[in-house]
Structure 1
Amino acid sequence: MNAHPAMMNWPVDPIDTRGLALWTAQEIAAATGGSASGAFEVSGCEIDSREVRDGDLFFALNGETSDGHRFLPGAFERGAAAAIVDRPIEQPHVLVSDTSSALEDMGKAARNRVDAGIIGVTGSAGKTGVKEALYAALDRGSRGRAHRSVKSYNNHVGVPLSLARMPARTSFGVFEMGMNHAGELAALTRLVRPHVAVVTTIAPAHIGHFSGEEAIADAKGEIFEGLEPGGVAIIPADNPHYMRLRAKAERHAERIVAFGSGPKANARLLDAVPAIGGGTLVTADLGGRKLCYTIAQPGAHWVANSLAVMAAVEAIGGDLGAAGLALAEMEGLAGRGARHTVPARGGDGSGQALLIDESYNANPASMRVTIEQLGATPARRHVAVLGAMRELGADEDRYHRELATPLVAAGIDRVILVGPEMAALAQALGKSASGALAEAIEVDHVQSAAEAAECLAAEGPQGGDAILVKGSNSVGLGALVRALTAREN
C-alpha cells in the first residue's frame, strides 16, 4: 500500500529529533556531576521505592531519620533500571556526593533542555485543580506533549522530582508550588522558571506560620520572582489582597492579567448559569475576546478557577478551544471534589447516595465554598463529615467556630465533626447549653476518623443523601472515603 502524499510530507518538528528515553546514563552523569557505572536508559524517576515501576531511576535520598539506600533492594525488585547513590552498588547507578543535590541538579537540567511553555501555579486553595485543568487543556491542544507535577508534589522535593520527570520533547509544562513558610516559593520558582505564574487565591491556609493574610499574600507572591523575561502574572482580581499581589507582580512580570467578576478583571466573568447535567455554562471576556464554555465541576470556585485557566492558556499560547473541551470533560480529583455513587439503605429507597470526596485538604475558605456547594446539591438529606483544619495558629477556635454560619445558611441536616479542634464548632452548633445556633442540625463530635466511620455507619448512608467528607489530610478522612467507595456502584 502506498502512503498518502500528505503523510509523506508531514511537517518535521525539531523536537522529534530528541531521544525517546527520559534520561541516559551519560545525561544523568552530566546533569549531576556524577559517575555512571555503565550505559543505561531510564523511562521515569522515583523517590519512593514502593512506587517504582519498570525502567525507573530511583533516587536513594537521605532524610533526617532514614537512609534511602536501605530501600535499594526493593526498588530493583520492582523494576528500577538504575539508581542515584552516594556509595557504590552492584546494580546500574550514577555515583554522586549528595543524592538530594543530584535530584535538584536533574530538575535544573530538565528545565534547561526543554523548549516548552512553562506555567507555575500556587495559591491558598485550588492550585491542584487549576494545575490539573491546565494540564488537561494543554495536553489536548498539543496532542500529548504536556507535562505536569503529579499528585501534590509541590515542595522542595516534589518540584525538582516533577521537573526531572519532564521529557525533552515536552511542549508545555505545568508545575504546582506550595509553601507554609516565607521564602519557600522563592526557591521553588527559581527552579521552575515559569513563563506564566498563577496565584489562584489568598486565604488563611497555614496561617499559623504567618503573622496574617498579608504575610501569606507576600509569600505567595514570591512565585513571580522566578518569571522568565517577558513573563505573565495571573492574579485574582476579586481577592482582598489583589493590590498587594499586583504590586509584587509589577516588579517581575511584563504583563499582569487579573481574573474575576469585578471591574479590575481582565479575564472577566460575564455570565454563569447551571449547565444541563451539572456544572456551569460560563461566558467570559478575555480582554476583548468573548468565550463561552462549560465546566463539568460544580461550584462558584470552579467558575473562578476556569477564568484563571483560560487566562493562563491564552498567555502561554495554548489552544482555547481545546481548553474549553477539557474543562467540559474534567472529572473531580480524588480528595478534591471527586463524586461517587455509593450503596445506601432506607431514605428515598433509591439504594444509593452521593459522596463528595474533599478529604485531602481544608482551610477556612475552601470549607466555606464546599459547604455552600453541598447545600446547593439536590438531595433528600445533606450530610457533612468535617475534619479539623490544621496549622491555623492562635485563632484556631475562631476559624472553626465561624463555620457554623455557612452550615446553617446551606441548610445542612447532619454534621459529624472530627478532631479536638472541632470542639469550638460543636459548641457553636448547639452541642452545649451555651449555644443553640442551629438546633435543626444533628451534630456529633468525635475524635478520630475511625470514630466518624462508626458514627456514619450506625445509620448508614441513606438513599438520596449527599455526603461531603472534608478535612485536613492529617485527620485521615481519606480512609473513610475508601471504605465507602469500596462497593461503589
Structure 2
Amino acid sequence: MAWTLSQLVEATNGVLTGELLGEDPIRFDSVSTDTRTLKSGALYAALKGANFDGHAFIAEAVKQGAVAVLISEPVETIVPSVLVEDTRIALGEFAAWHRQKMQLKALIGVTGSNGKTTTKALLANILAKQAQVLATAGNLNNDYGLPRTLLELTSSDDYAVIEMGANHHREIHYLTKIARPDVAVITLAAGAHLEGFGSLDGVIETKGEIMDGLKPGGTIVLNTDSPGFEVWCAKAKRLDLKVFSFGESEQANVRLAAFQQNHDRIHFTLRLTCLDGAERSVQTSMPMLGFHNAMNAAAAVAACLAVGLTWEQIQPGLEDFDGVAGRLQKSALPQGVLIDDTYNANPASVKAAIRTLAGLPGESVACLGAMAELGAESQSLHEDVARYAKEKGVASLLVFGVAAQSMPEAFGEGGEYFETQDALIARAIQLLEQNQVQNALVKGSRSTQMEKVSQAIVATVADRNDNG
C-alpha cells in the first residue's frame, strides 16, 4: 500500500505543516511507531504514553528513512508533518479510514478472557485454506497494535481476523469502532484483569463492547456456557444483531457433544445447526491438548459458518492446526508429556490447563507461577486454584512468586513454595527423574517468566534421558 499525506489529513482532520520536498506529493508505504523497526519510506507516528514520548525520537525516525511524521506538538524536522490533537486517536482514525476502503469478504473480531489468541490463529488457519487472510500478529491487540494491523490490509486480502484485548472498560468499544467487524466472537468471560474491571460483571460488560462496532445486521458468536451469555444475548437483541452460538448446551448452534484426549491429540464430536437450519453431526481431531481447545475449535467453526463456509471447507484447517507458542504446547518426557502454557495466566486459564494435565495417563506435577492483576481477591483466587488441582488428582504442586505463597497449604500434601525458579526447576526434575510423576504443566503470568522453567525441564530431562 501507499498513501498520500492528503489522505492522512482527510482521515485525521490534521494540519499539514512544514515544507513539502519536491513537487510530487509525499507518499508513505507503512506506518511505524517504533524507530527500532521503522522501514525507509514510512510515516512515523509519535505516540505519547505515561512513560514515553515518541516526539523525542523524530530525528532518529527521519535518520532511519521516515518520509513524514504524525505529531501532536510542533516540531522542527526536515520532513513534512501532520499535526493532530492526539496521535494515538489519529492512528486509530487513519486505520478505520483504511479498513473501510478495503473490500473484504468479512472481518472477524475476536475477544474473550481466555482463548482469543488460539481462536484467532485457528480461524486464520481455516480461512487461509480458502483465501488470503490478514490476522493479528502476536499480541498486537490493543489501541496501538490493532490500528497497525489494519493498516497492513491490502486489496488482495479476502478476510481479516482481528484480536481485541482489554484490561479496562471501554477499551474494546474503542477497538471495535475502528475495526468494524462483520462477525465478532466472545470466547469466554472469566476472572482476568480484575484490577481494571472490578468484578466479573465488569469483565462481561467489557467483552460485550465488541458488539458496539459490529456492522448493522452483523453476527455475534457467543459461548452458551460462559457467564454473561444472557446479558450478551439481550444486548445483541437491542442492537438487532444475529446470535450464533457454541458450547456444550443443547441450544448451541455448534455443540461440543463428545470429547476425548490422549498424549498427542484431542478427538471430539460437533453437532452443527447451520444458518439455513440444516443439522449434522461431525467428528474431528486436532494435534493439541485440552478440552478448552475443543471449545476454541467450536468457536472458530461457528464463526466460519457465520461467514458462509461449509464444514468441508472448515475441517482441513482444524485438523492440521497445532496451536500457538506458549499455549498448551506439548513436549515429550521419558514417561509422559510436558505442557508449556506459559504465555499468561488467570484463574480460569490455569484451571483449564490443570484439567488438561489431569486428563493425561499417569501422575502429574503442576509448576505454577503467581497470577497477576487479581486485586484484593488475589490470595483467595490462588488458593482456589490450588484446591482445584488437588480435586483433579494432581500429585504435586510447585509454586513460585510471592502472590502464590499460600497455595501449598491450600493444596495439602505435595504442595511446595519456592523462593527461586532454580529451586522449583530442580524439584520438578527430581520428581520426573525419579518417576514419581510422569507429566508436568508449567504456567504463570508473564511477570513470572515461567517459560524458563519449561525450557530447563525439557532440556535437562531430555538430555539425561538421551545419555542414560
Answer yes or no: same fold by TM over 0.5.
yes
Distance of 1:449 and 1:30 partners within structure 2:
53
What's the CA shift for 1:378? Answer: 3.9
Which amino acid letter does the alignment assign opposite residue 345 of structure 2? A
C-alpha change, 1:311 and 1:459, in structure 2 (3 Å) is: closer
What's the CA shift for 1:275? Answer: 7.4
Distance of 2:70 and 2:234 partners within structure 1:
44
Q: In the alignment, which residue of structure 1 is the partner of 2:369? A: 387
What's the CA shift for 1:215? Answer: 2.6
Distance of 2:62 and 2:459 partners within structure 1:
31
Q: In the alignment, which residue of structure 2 is the partner of 1:331? A: 322
Which consecutive unaligned segments of at least 5 residues does structure 1 have? 1-20, 431-438
Match of 1:476 among 449, 454, 462: 449
Q: In the alignment, which residue of structure 1 is the partner of 2:393? A: 411
User: 2:397·2:408 contact (CA, 8 Å) conserved in 1?
Assistant: no
User: 1:186·1:222 contact (CA, 8 Å) conserved in 2?
Assistant: yes
Q: In the alignment, which residue of structure 2 is the partner of 1:6? A: none
Distance of 2:213 and 2:431 partners within structure 1:
52
User: 1:198·1:235 contact (CA, 8 Å) conserved in 2?
Assistant: yes
Q: Does residue 1:140 correspond to 2:129, yes or no?
A: yes
Which amino acid letter does the alignment assign opposite residue 376 of structure 2? A
Q: In the alignment, which residue of structure 2 is the partner of 1:429? A: 411
Q: Secondary structure at the match of 1:204?
A: coil
Q: In the alignment, which residue of structure 2 is the partner of 1:64? A: 50
Deviates more, 1:191-200 or 1:401-410: 401-410
Q: Does residue 1:300 correspond to 2:291, yes or no?
A: yes
Match of 1:356 among 339, 342, 348: 339
Q: Does residue 1:114 correspond to 2:99, yes or no?
A: no
C-alpha change, 1:326 and 1:414, in structure 2 (3 Å) is: same
Q: Does residue 1:129 correspond to 2:118, yes or no?
A: yes
Q: Secondary structure at the match of 1:49?
A: coil
Q: Secondary structure at the match of 1:391?
A: coil
What's the CA shift for 1:151? Answer: 1.2
Match of 1:251 among 238, 261, 286: 238
Q: Does residue 1:397 correspond to 2:383, yes or no?
A: no
C-alpha change, 1:69 and 1:279, in structure 2 (3 Å) is: same
C-alpha change, 1:160 and 1:311, in structure 2 (3 Å) is: same
User: What CA RMSD, in Å, does the superposition of the two structures yield over aligned residues?
Assistant: 3.1
Distance of 2:185 and 2:35 partners within structure 1:
32
User: 2:204·2:228 contact (CA, 8 Å) conserved in 1?
Assistant: yes
What's the CA shift for 1:73? Answer: 6.5
Which amino acid letter does the alignment assign opposite residue 245 of structure 2? A
Cα-to-partner distance string for 1:66-105 (whole Å, 9 max, x where unaligned): 222444566677x656453433544x66543353233112
Q: In the alignment, which residue of structure 1 is the partner of 2:466? A: none
What's the CA shift for 1:418? Answer: 1.4
What's the CA shift for 1:486? Answer: 7.2
Distance of 1:481 and 1:276 partners within structure 2:
18
What's the CA shift for 1:422? Answer: 0.8
Q: Does residue 1:466 correspond to 2:439, yes or no?
A: yes
Q: In the alignment, which residue of structure 2 is the partner of 1:366? A: 349
C-alpha change, 1:269 and 1:84, in structure 2 (3 Å) is: same
User: 2:45·2:54 contact (CA, 8 Å) conserved in 1?
Assistant: yes
Q: In the alignment, which residue of structure 2 is the partner of 1:156? A: 143
Q: Does residue 1:444 correspond to 2:416, yes or no?
A: yes
Question: TM-score scaled to structure 1, two decimals?
Answer: 0.81
User: 2:110·2:187 contact (CA, 8 Å) conserved in 1?
Assistant: yes
Which amino acid letter does the alignment assign opposite residue 377 of structure 2? D
Cα-to-partner distance string for 1:158-211 (whole Å, 9 max, x where unaligned): 222222222233211111112222222212111111111111011111223344
Q: Secondary structure at the match of 1:112?
A: helix
Which amino acid letter does the alignment assign opposite residue 324 of structure 1? Q
Distance of 1:82 and 1:60 partners within structure 2:
13
The correspondence of residues 1-80 of structure 1 with structure 2, limited to 5 A, is 21=1, 23=3, 27-28=7-8, 30-32=10-12, 33=14, 35=16, 37=21, 44-52=30-38, 57-71=43-57
Q: Secondary structure at the match of 2:123?
A: helix
What's the CA shift for 1:385? Answer: 1.5
Percent identical among aligned pairs is 30
Distance of 2:87 and 2:31 partners within structure 1:
13
Which amino acid letter does the alignment assign opposite residue 115 of structure 1? Q
C-alpha change, 1:251 and 1:99, in structure 2 (3 Å) is: same
User: 1:40·1:81 contact (CA, 8 Å) conserved in 2?
Assistant: no
Distance of 2:183 and 2:445 partners within structure 1:
29
C-alpha change, 1:444 and 1:230, in structure 2 (3 Å) is: same
User: 1:275·1:294 contact (CA, 8 Å) conserved in 2?
Assistant: no
What's the CA shift for 1:224? Answer: 0.9
Aligned residue-pair number: 446
The correspondence of residues 197-236 of structure 1 with structure 2, limited to 5 A, is 197-236=184-223
C-alpha change, 1:460 and 1:273, in structure 2 (3 Å) is: closer
Which consecutive unaligned segments of at least 5 residues does structure 2 have? 464-468
Which amino acid letter does the alignment assign opposite residue 158 of structure 1? G
Distance of 2:315 and 2:302 partners within structure 1:
12
Distance of 1:34 and 1:340 partners within structure 2:
55
